Amino acid sequence: MAVAVLDHIDARLTELESLDEHWLDGVGLAPDRNVTGRARELAVRLLQAGFPEPAIDPTETGGVVLSGQSKKRFYEVSVDRSGRFVAQTHCATTTFAPDVDFIVAMLVVDWRPKRWAA
């Protein structure tokens, strides 16, 4: 894992922590260190699993969303203010307690519910 990529991720997360409250047209909470710490943990695990660097953006509710490609599918994993992960692929949404390893494993194997399996 390249140090430059981690530096870029850390810089982006620091930038999100420094957002003003009401940063989005008068609404929007800034992510706190708990949220950005969980997002960093997830980003590092995604990189370790061979994913390219994810896009990292704030949510208006004070969370952070990481997005990118999982095999041929687009994915988003949000970290909400409680530290919970919500993972979405184009065909499934799954909410988990804070379990980074399961989220990454789900994306690696291109998980989808059996009822949507081809």
- Return averaged pLDDT per consecutive 10 residues of the chain, 118 residues in all: 89 95 90 94 88 93 89 81 80 55 64 45
Confidence (pLDDT) at 96: 52
H-state helical runs in the chain: 3-17, 33-48, 100-108
> 9 and 38 in contact (C-beta within 8 Å)?
no
Q: In sequence order, which residues have a C-beta less than 8 Å from that of residue 89 and are 6 or more positions away?
A: 70, 73, 74, 75, 107, 110, 111, 112
Confidence (pLDDT) at 63: 95
Confidence (pLDDT) at 16: 96
